[in-house]
Amino acid sequence: MNKTTKLIVLTALVTLCGYQSNAQEKETIKRDGLTLNFTSLDSSFDPRLKQRMIETFFTVYPLLKKEYNENAATELNFVIDTAYKGVAATGGGRIVYSPAYFKQHPTDVDVVTHEVMHVIQSYGRGAGPGWLTEGIADYVRYKFGVDNPGAKWALPEYKDTQSYTNSYRITARFLAWLESHGNKGLVKKLDANLRAHTFTAELWKKETGKTLDELWVAYSANPAL
């Protein structure tokens, strides 16, 4: 390899390393006993949105930790991953976000609120129905979200075609109705039992005096929050 070729190869390697460094920028932020590692694999990711996500984490996560699970992780990892095609996914204290989604929905910062609740939940396998897990996470977004109006995110109006098993916002609205109709603290009890793997279908009647289906009938008859 002659000197000119070596120089070209070396320049290409330096450029590539520089690109990878920028594209995989990692920042570690520590506040009040919590650590957030923020890694972006998208060099074009909006730095203002990044800062909003960081502030949302440090605003919401301590509240959720105190309210639902004081033993939840104190160190989390946020990854902006160009290869991920969903909205966001959480596992083992690592939350992957889609930059493509945020480019289309730049104000939806409370995706963070929903996802960090999954870290708080930490139910593991076989704890209970998935629709309830996601319903609780959206209920928490409804209750603790920092800017749901800015994202034009809200709980849907009741429709007779809905079911409590629809998950996400539909289940969240049902949970919000239960909380405001004589069952304050129910979501916290459901969450604790799911995490302890002591959740059963009988828990609804034990805590409310009605079965799940009976509760849904009552909700359907008077769904106003």
Query: What is the domain range of residue 223?
Result: 125-225
Share of the chain above pLDDT 90, in %: 88
pLDDT class of 173 with cuts at 50, 70, 90: very high
pLDDT tens per residue across span 101-133 = 999 999 999 999 999 999 999 999 999 999 999
Residue 36 shares a structural domain with residue 51 = yes
Q: How many domains does the chain have?
A: 2
Strand ranges in 46-112 using DSSP code E only, listed in sequence order = 75-80, 88-91, 94-97
Residue 146 shares a structural domain with residue 109 = no
What is the number of other CB atoms lying within 10 angstroms of the CB of residue 64? 19
Range 32-41 average pLDDT: 97
Helix (H) or strand (E) holding 39: strand 34-40
What pTM was computed for the model? Answer: 0.88
Rounded to a whole number of angstroms, the distance between the first and last alpha carbons of the chain is 75
Residue 157 shares a structural domain with residue 118 = no
Is there a domain that residue 188 lies in? yes
Looking at residue 155, its pLDDT comes to 98
Last residue of a domain, one of 122, 145, 166: 122
CATH code, domain carrying 64: 1.10.390.10
- Mean pLDDT score of the chain: 92
For residue 7, pLDDT over 70 is answered with no
Looking at residue 72, its pLDDT comes to 98
In the block, which residue shows the tokens 């994202």? 151
Residue 176 shares a structural domain with residue 113 = no
Last residue of a domain, one of 106, 122, 138: 122
Is there a contact between 90 and 118 (Cβ–Cβ < 8 Å)? yes
For residue 54, pLDDT over 80 is answered with yes
Last residue of a domain, one of 100, 122, 144: 122
Looking at residue 24, its pLDDT comes to 66
Range 73-100 average pLDDT: 97
Burial class (CB in 10 A: 0-12, 13-18, 19+), 48: exposed
For residue 214, pLDDT over 60 is answered with yes
For residue 21, pLDDT over 80 is answered with no
